[in-house]
Structure 1
Amino acid sequence: MDAVDLRRTLSDELHARAFDNFSGSGRFIRFIYLVEGNADVIVEYVNKFLEREGQAPIPLSSKFSSFNLGHYSLDFERHTEFISVSFIQKYDSLLVGLSPDAYNARSVALPIEWAHASPGQIFHAIWLEVGGEPPDGLTEQKMLQLMQARAVAANQFSDGAAQVYFAFDIDAAGFSRVALFNKSMVASRLGRAVQRIVELETYRLLALLGFATVTEYGSKLDSITRHVGEITNELAEQIKQPDSHVEGMLSKLSAQAADLENIYSKASYRMAATKAYDSI
């Protein structure tokens, strides 16, 4: 690859993920599938769907593709550990509140069931609704009911031009719900805000994969620590004996070292990935 081709490749990688401008209201729904040696199977599943919709298939080398499918668009992203499929739907502006079909998979006319039926393992699903101004009398209890959550985090941004609400619980349909009430944010800025909110929620959960690894190996490490301590104490006593069994103790110590190395080899990649996701 010459210098020009390299620059073009890097530029395409940087600018391929264009923001979707939201001139009115709409929704952004993303499915994240973990890649566990079956990335090509997931891509093939998506390509069969695109073929039925009269679209060209996603090239094997493509990391990002976007398709206009009439009343919605489909975005595809391929990463080292996961593949994401997103549905973006836009409609006329709402003055107040969210669309009546917000978070209703049966009434939004999107291929939600198809996404759930993918051969890839769904790691996370995000449903973000973009609406108008917050309705009067919007209490914490009403937001908890709307978001199907035990707790909701809220914040204003862009000098109060918009409000965002996060539900960290997973709803009955398997989605993490986000609501964005737009007062006066322009389309381009609103599109960037939507994209960044979805990315934030995506990598928040991916970073927590490291917690599962720590939980899995934490008890094993405690056991190794305890056994090594016992072996070390016994080894110290054996050395003092004329008929010691030091070689037997050393073999036990080597076995514990092998177990520790095995845990390190399995956990080191996950810990490095967790740091990377946290940095993002």
Structure 2
Amino acid sequence: MTAPLLQEHPLRQSLNDEAHARPSVPVHTGSRLSALVLFGGDTTAHRAALQALTRQLGLPEPGSHPHYVGEHAGLTLRWDSHTEFTRYSLLLPDGPEDPFAESPLDRLPADWLDTLPGQLLVAIHAAVVPRQEEPVDLTRVADRYFAGHDLIGSELGDGRGLALTDLQLHPDRHLPSGASRLLLLDGAMSERQCGRMLQRLLEIETYRMLALLGLPVAKALLPQLADMEARLSRLTRAIRQPESDDRQLLDEMTELAAELEGSLAASSYRFSAASAYYAIIERRIAELRESRLSGLQPFREFVERRLAPAIDTCQSVSRRQEQLSLRLQRSTALLRTRVDVSSEAQRHGLLASMNRRAALQLRLQQTVEGLSVAVLTYYIVSLIGYAAKALHALGLHVTPELVTGGAIPLVAATVAFGLHRFQARQEEPRPPVS
């Protein structure tokens, strides 16, 4: 008898594959790599650009996965699709003596770069060269590969490699604004370790630029926040003034709350993303296992001095938004309470006025009812008097004056009773009409 199969979670396979989703590519000494990071752009359009490139380069067709690695004639193409960006990486196993004289971008079709969707955020050329001298002449390296710019970097992998960059954009014939450069000096790293280190360095630069996207947003919000804080302070002071118009203050606070919510909606995602990217950068730097080289600023120190203040600014603006929102909620609640109390007092006054008006109407109605009894009694008794005179004229022994006088109390009582019954029937609840 066959044992029943266990019911598997529908995401089991995909969750297991996530651990192997973006493996590093082995890189050996002498390799050159070019990476382009495109911000935004439709994923379908990026996938179409990838398919066009693989066909033109003779690489295997990509599938539907968010990452792709293909190799043909010594060229390795790697494609990674992320939430906010897409990265294209091209790797060549060897090159000229000057690793930055040519780049893997030279192997691309002539007009393919012009078809890429999104906006170019990061362009970097990386080269892996052997570490042939001890100690490394940093001045000569800077002059030869980085146009004499100041370098940052450190020894990696417990001293097995050395990474150097200047974070400057160097001229490139394929890219109008140029590309940054990264030099990895290989001392005793394996190809796998070299690939992992290179991938971490590329991710540090990618996420550094992505994290900095929050800084312009924060700077643009600073004057707006200052203006909103000043307006809230003015409104809060006005609340304490007894002669202030509460309705107008409440309208102004509602308008201010709408502006603040708009700024929160426009910036909260960007600030959250900046903090998340910064956390990734810190993890990648820790994975480098870097050690300081004399005369060189390491990556961690550079990030702490140059990137951390930008992230602190974003977080500071985010906290100010949240604090302003809380203050605005408290002030609005206080003002709304006062408006409610004032409205309740007005309602009580209105009800008291209505009660007085109802009492006056009741007294008037009673007066009218009394007059109505007198008037009706007068006319009915008059009719009875005419009838008595007519009977007297016919020869009957009827005294009109006695009949008229005796009818007065009887008629008055009858009329009063009839009006009372009519009023009672009018006040009875009527069944609803079906």
Instruction: Using structure 2 for the length normalisation, give the TM-score.
Output: 0.56
Q: Deviations over 1:103-157 (max 9, x none)?
A: 2357873328656422321111122110011557723364166224743112012
Instruction: Please give the alpha-carbon distance, in whole angstroms, between the structure 2 residues aligned to 1:24 and 1:138.
Output: 19
Q: Is the 8 A contact 1:144 1:152 kept in 2?
A: no
State the match for 1:8 in structure 2.
13
Whole-angstrom distance in 1 between the partners of 2:74 and 2:111: 17
Q: How far off is 1:4 after superposition? A: 6.7
When structure 1 is superposed on structure 2, of 82-91 and 169-178 the one drifting more is 169-178
Higher RCO (CA 8 Å, separation ≥ 6 residues):
1
Pairwise CA distance, 1:206: 1.3
Q: Which structure would you say has the larger Rg?
A: 2
Mapped partners of 1:3, 1:221: distance in 2: 51
Q: Summarize the Cα distance change of 1:150–1:255 in structure 2 as closer, same or farther, 3 Å threshold.
A: farther
C-alpha contact (below 8 Å) 1:33/1:122 kept by paired residues: yes
Aligned 8 A contact 1:101 1:107 in 2 = no
Q: What's the secondary structure of 1:212's corresponding residue?
A: helix
What displacement does 1:263 show? 0.7
User: How is 1:103-122 mapped onto 2 (pairs within 5 angstroms)?
Assistant: 103-105=100-102, 109-111=106-108, 116-117=113-114, 118-122=116-120
Closer/same/farther in 2, CA of residues 145 and 220 from structure 1, 3 Å limit: farther
- Equivalent-residue separation in structure 2 for 1:278 and 1:112 (angstroms): 35
- Does the alignment pair 1:64 with 2:67? yes
Select the residue among 120, 124, 127 that pairs with 2:125: 127
Question: Partner residue of 1:256?
Answer: 256
Q: What SS does the aligned partner of 2:35 have?
A: strand
Q: Which has the higher helix share?
A: 2
The aligned residue for residue 52 of structure 2 is: 48
Instruction: Give the aligned partner of residue 181 of structure 1.
Output: 185
Contact in 1 for aligned 2:153/2:162 (Cα 8 Å): yes
What is the match of residue 163 of structure 1?
162
Q: Which residue of 2 aligns with 1:95?
A: none
For 2:50 and 2:161, locate their aligned partners in 1 and report how far apart those are by CA, in whole Å.
34
Stretches of structure 1 that go unaligned for 5 or more consecutive residues are 93-98
SS in 2 for 1:102: coil
The one of 238, 242, 252 aligned to 1:234: 238
Is the Cα–Cα contact under 8 Å of residues 56 and 109 in structure 2 kept in the other structure?
no
- Say whether the 8 Å CA contact 1:21–1:191 is kept in structure 2: yes
Equivalent position of 1:19 in the other structure: 24
**Long gaps (5+) in structure 2:** 1-6, 173-177, 281-434
Match of 2:425 in 1: none
Q: Percent identity?
A: 22
- Take 1:235 and 1:190, find their aligned partners in 2: how far apart are those partners? 65
Distance in structure 1 (CA, Å) of the matches to 2:124 and 2:35: 5
Partner of 2:284: none
Taking a change above 3 Å as real, the CA distance of residues 224 and 20 of structure 1, as seen in their structure-2 partners, is: same
| Between 212-221 and 5-14, the greater mean CA deviation after superposition | 5-14
CA–CA separation in structure 2 for the residues paired with 1:223 and 1:252: 14
* Partner Cα distance (1:100, 1:86) in 2: 21
Cα distance in structure 1, aligned partners of 2:104 and 2:13: 42
**Residue 143 of structure 1 pairs with residue 142 of structure 2:** yes
What secondary structure sits across from 1:23 in the alignment?
coil
Aligned equivalents of 2:104 and 2:89: distance in 1? 17
Provide the C-alpha distance between the structure 2 equivalents of 1:32 and 1:227, rounded to a whole number of angstroms.
42
- Higher strand residue share: 1
TM-score (norm 1): 0.84
Amino acid at match of 1:171: H
| SS of residue in 1 equivalent to 2:93 | strand
Q: Does the Cα contact within 8 Å between 1:149 and 1:167 map onto a contact in 2?
A: no
Bigger mean CA deviation after superposition, 108-117 or 198-207? 108-117
Contact 2:228 2:256 in 1 (8 A): yes
2:23 & 2:71 partners in 1: Cα distance?
14
